A and B are shown apart, each in its own frame.
Chain A
Amino acid sequence: MLATTSTSLTTDLWYTIRATGVVALVLLTVTTVLGMLAASRARTRRWPAFAQVDLHKRATLFALVFLGLHVLTAVVDTYVNVGVLSAVVPFASPFRTFWTGLGTVAVDLLLAVAVSSALRQRIAARTWRGLHWLAYACWPFALAHALGAGTDAAQLWMDGIAGACSVAVLSALTWRIGYHRTTREVEDRVGAVTRAVPLRHRTTAPTGATGRTGGPSAPTTTAPTATALLERDPR
Chain B
Amino acid sequence: MTTATLHRTERLLRTGPDGPADPGLATHLALHGPLTVPPRDDREWSHAVWAEVNRSGLTGRGGGGFPAAAKWDAVTRSGRRPVVVVNAMEGEPASAKDRSLLAWSPHLVLDGAEVAAALSGAREIVVCVADDRDRTARSVGYALSERARSGGGRPVSVVRPPSRYVAGEESALVGWLERGDARPALRVDKSVPLQLRRRPVLLHNAETLAQVALIARHGAAWFRELGTAGAPGSTLVTVSGAVRTPGVIEVELGTPVEDLIGRTQPTGPVGAILTGGYGGAWLHPSRASVPFAPGPLTEAGATIGAGIVVVVPATSCGIAETARIARYMAGESAGQCGPCVFGLPAIADDLELLAVGRGDAGLLARLQRRCGEVAGRGACRHPDGVVRLVRSALDVFGDDVRGHATGHPCAGHAAPTVLQFPSALPTRAGAA
- Indicate whether A and B are direct neighbours in the complex (CB within 8 Å): yes
Task: Write the residues of chain A forming the contact surface with B, with a CB cutoff of 8 angstroms.
Answer: 184, 186-187, 189-197, 201, 203, 205, 209-210, 212, 214-223, 225-227, 229-235
Inter-chain contact A216/B167, CB cutoff 8 Å: no
Asked whether, in the complex, the Cβ of A223 is within 8 Å of the Cβ of B327, the reply is no
- Tell me, in angstroms, the Cα distance from A185 to B418 when the chains sit together: 29
Residue of A nearest to B332 (CB): A189
Task: Flag if B331 contacts A214 (CB, 8 Å).
Answer: yes
Provide the residues of chain A in CB contact with B164, threshold 8 Å. Answer: 192-193
Nearest CB in chain B to that of A214: its residue:
B331
Known contacts: A214-B345, A218-B327, A234-B23. The answer to whether A229 contacts B240 by CB under 8 A is yes
B240-A220 in contact (CB<8A): no
B267 located at the interface, meaning its Cβ lies under 8 Å from any Cβ of chain A in the complex: yes
Interface bits B388-432 vs A (CB < 8 Å: 1, else 0): 000000000000000000000000000011111101101011101
Q: How far is the CA of A209 from the CA of B183 in the complex (A)?
A: 25
Q: Are B416 and A221 in contact (CB under 8 A)?
A: yes
Q: Which residues of A contact B421 (CB under 8 A)?
A: 216, 218, 220
Q: Are B166 and A193 in contact (CB under 8 A)?
A: yes
Most buried by B among A190, A195, A212, A230: A230
Could you list 8 examples of A-B contacts with CB < 8 Å? A191-B430, A197-B181, A203-B338, A214-B331, A214-B333, A216-B421, A226-B419, A230-B248
Interface residues in B169-192 by Cβ distance below 8 A to A read: 172, 176, 179-183
By a beta-carbon cutoff of 8 Å, the part of chain B in contact with chain A is: 16-17, 22-23, 94-96, 99-100, 103-104, 135, 139, 142, 162, 164, 166-167, 172, 176, 179-183, 238, 240-244, 246-248, 267, 323-325, 327-328, 330-335, 338, 341-342, 345-346, 349, 416-421, 423-424, 426, 428-430, 432
CA distance A227 to B243 in the complex (A): 10
Minimum C-beta distance from A196 to chain B (A): 5
Contacts of A222 in B (CB 8 A): 417, 420
**CB neighbours of B100 from chain A (8 A):** 230, 232
Q: Is the CB of A194 within 8 A of B345?
A: no
Among A193, A205, A209, A234, which residue has its beta carbon within 8 angstroms of that of B334? A193
* B350 closest partner in A (C-beta): A210
What residues of chain A lie closer than 8 Å to B135, measured between beta carbons? Answer: 231, 233
**Given A189-B332, A191-B429, A225-B243, also A217-B327 (CB < 8 A):** yes
Known: A192-B164, A225-B244. A216 touches B327 (CB 8 A): yes
Cα A220 to Cα B324 in complex, Å, equals 9
Write out the residue numbers on chain B whose beta carbons fall within 8 Å of the beta carbon of A223: 241-242, 416-418
For residue A212, which residue of chain B has the nearest CB?
A: B345
- Expressed in whole angstroms, the Cα–Cα distance for A193 and B432 within the complex equals 11
Query: Is B324 in contact with A219, judged by CB distance below 8 angstroms?
Result: yes
Q: Are B423 and A225 in contact (CB under 8 A)?
A: no
- Which residue of B142, B242, B430 is within 8 Å of A195 (Cβ)? B430
Contact yes or no, B182 A226, CB < 8 A: no
Other than A194-B176, A195-B180, A231-B99, give 14 A-B pairs with Cβ distance below 8 A. Answer: A184-B342, A192-B429, A193-B162, A201-B335, A217-B327, A218-B417, A219-B324, A219-B416, A222-B420, A223-B242, A225-B243, A226-B420, A233-B135, A234-B142
Among B238, B243, B328, B334, point to the contact of A216 (Cβ < 8 A): B328
Tell me what chain A mostly uses at the interface: helix, strand, loop, or mixed.
loop
Q: Is the CB of A196 within 8 A of B181?
A: yes
Q: Indicate which residue in B104, B324, B418 contacts A234 across the interface (CB closer than 8 Å).
A: B104
Give the docked Cα–Cα distance between A230 and B16 (Å).
Answer: 11
User: Given the complex of chains A and B, what is the CA–CA distance between A232 and B246 in angstroms?
Assistant: 13
Chain A residue with Cβ nearest B179 = A196
Given A186-B335, A189-B335, A195-B432, A218-B247 contact (CB < 8 Å): no
Residue numbers in A under 8 Å from B416 (CB-CB): 219, 221, 223
Asked if A194 and B328 sit within 8 Å, CB to CB, the answer is: no
B179 in contact with A216 (CB, 8 Å): no
Are B167 and A193 touching (Cβ within 8 A)? yes
Cα A194 to Cα B336 with chains together (Å): 12
A192–B243 CB distance below 8 A: no
Interchain CB contact under 8 A, B342 and A205 = yes
Which A residues lie within 8 Å of B17 (CB)? Answer: 232
Assess the B346–A209 pair: CB atoms within 8 A.
yes
Cα-based distance from A227 to B96 in the complex (angstroms): 12
With A192-B430, A212-B345 as contacts: A226 and B246 at CB distance below 8 Å: yes
For B183, give its contact among A193, A221, A225, A231 (CB under 8 Å): A193
- Smallest Cβ distance from B242 to chain A, in angstroms? 6
Given known A189-B332, A214-B330, A231-B96, contact A225–B429 (CB-CB < 8 A)? no
Q: Within 8 Å CB of B430, what residues of A?
A: 191-192, 194-195
| Complex CA–CA separation, A209 to B23 (angstroms) | 53
In the complex, the answer to whether B331 meets A234 with C-beta atoms within 8 Å is no
Q: Tell me whether A203 and B341 are in contact (CB under 8 A).
A: yes
Contact of B181 among A189, A194, A203, A212 (CB under 8 A): A194
Also in contact, A214 and B341, with CB within 8 A (given A189-B335, A220-B423, A234-B23): yes
Asked if A193 and B16 sit within 8 Å, CB to CB, the answer is: no
Least CB distance, A200 to chain B, in whole angstroms: 12
Instruction: Indicate which residue in B96, B242, B342 contacts A230 across the interface (CB closer than 8 Å).
Output: B96
Which chain B residue shows the least CB distance to A188?
Answer: B425
List chain A residues, Cβ under 8 A from B248. Answer: 229-230
Nearest CB of B to A189, in Å: 6
A229 to chain B, nearest CB (A): 4
State the CA gap A212–B176 with chains docked (Å).
29
Which residue in B180, B242, B323, B335 is a CB contact (below 8 Å) of A203? B335
Residues on A with C-beta less than 8 A from B333 are 186, 189, 214
| Partner pick for A219 among B16, B241, B417, CB 8 A cutoff | B417
Please, which residues of chain B bring their CB within 8 A of the CB of A184?
341-342
* Docked CA distance A212–B348 (Å): 10
Query: How near does chain A come to B320, taking the closest CB pair, in angstroms?
Result: 9
**Residue on B with the closest CB to A203?**
B341
Query: Which residues of B have CB within 8 Å of A215?
Result: 331, 424
Closest to B268 in A: A225
Partner of A227, one of B139, B176, B246: B246
- Report the minimal beta-carbon distance from B342 to chain A, rounded to whole angstroms: 6
